[in-house]
Amino acid sequence: MDKLLDDIKNNLIAGRVDRQDEGPDGTMEGQPGMRELVQEAIEMGVPPSTIMAQCLNPGMEEVGRLYENGEYLTPDMLAAAESVNTAMTLLEPLLLENNITNNGKFVMATVEGDLHDIGKNIVVTLLRGSGYDIQDLGTSVQADQIVSAIKESQANFLGLSALLTSTMGKMKEVIDKLKEENLREKVKVFIGGAPLTEEYARKIGADFFCEDAFDALNKLNSLKKKK
């Protein structure tokens, strides 16, 4: 099984969707790609959370490193994103299948000016699969739109994502607007994204900073226990 999990991770890094993809060096056509490998893992009974934790998260971390080193360019990143999405499309129904409980309403958005959504989508899939009713507002969402969605849905939780240092300040704008509308006490605010920290969460008045999707789930579970 370890080889299968490694193959899934490596196909993500190679940005391959299925067996027709030739891969970055043009030699991989005919070999199983993300679709076939994830399907095989599902048939073997590998839990979706294992595939996410052992293949998708570390695979995307490696893609990030390659981009930062200059070895990967934008098309390589987009190919990796398509490969992750293929995996998530196969995993999402399984995550949903096991959950009938409704743990609360969660509004999720990437803040204004920011188009990064791979991490947000992973969080959305994991939380949806864990019984949260998620309203995903998408990317580059203005503070006003986020606050209106909270008001209308009476959500218990808000998740904000930012990957750019130039957009993370928008999170404070959202929190300030929630205060203006007297909604701040009604919603727990979770923030995530590579440039953020625990300290930044405290500074802007968010409730929780989360390293990754599993950290978010743990923090939500600890809130449930406190009730």
Which residues of this chain interact with ligand B12, rule CB under 6 A?
Answer: 57, 60, 63-64, 67-68, 74, 77-78, 81, 113-120, 122-123, 159-161, 163-166, 190-195, 210, 212-213, 216
Q: How many angstroms separate the Cα of 90 from the Cα of each of 94, 126, 164? A: 8, 13, 29
Task: Specify the residue, 31 or 164, whose C-beta has the smaller distance to ligand B12.
Answer: 164
**Closest CB 24 distance from ligand B12, rounded Å:** 15
Q: How many angstroms separate the Cα of 183 from the Cα of each of 74, 124, 146, 174, 207? A: 39, 22, 12, 11, 14
- Residue 187 is classified by DSSP as S
**Closest CB 154 distance from ligand B12, rounded Å:** 19
Task: Specify the residue, 31 or 62, whose C-beta has the smaller distance to ligand B12.
Answer: 62
Q: What helix, strand, coil percent values describe the chain, rounded to 5?
A: 55, 10, 35
Task: Specify the residue, 123 or 147, whose C-beta has the smaller distance to ligand B12.
Answer: 123
Task: Specify the residue, 81 or 174, whose C-beta has the smaller distance to ligand B12.
Answer: 81
What six digits make up the tokens of 85? Answer: 């999405």
**Closest CB 158 distance from ligand B12, rounded Å:** 8
Q: Is the dihedral angle over the CA atoms 172, 62, 214, 96 positive or is it negative?
A: positive
**Closest CB 129 distance from ligand B12, rounded Å:** 14
Expressed in angstroms, the distance from the first to the final Cα of the chain is 39
Task: Specify the residue, 33 or 192, whose C-beta has the smaller distance to ligand B12.
Answer: 192
**Closest CB 10 distance from ligand B12, rounded Å:** 16
**Closest CB 173 distance from ligand B12, rounded Å:** 16
Return the closest-CA partner of residue 37 out of 94, 84, 92: 84
Task: Specify the residue, 41 or 83, whose C-beta has the smaller distance to ligand B12.
Answer: 83
How many Cβ atoms from other residues are within 10 Å of residue 5's Cβ? 18
Return the closest-CA partner of residue 64 out of 212, 177, 191, 207: 212
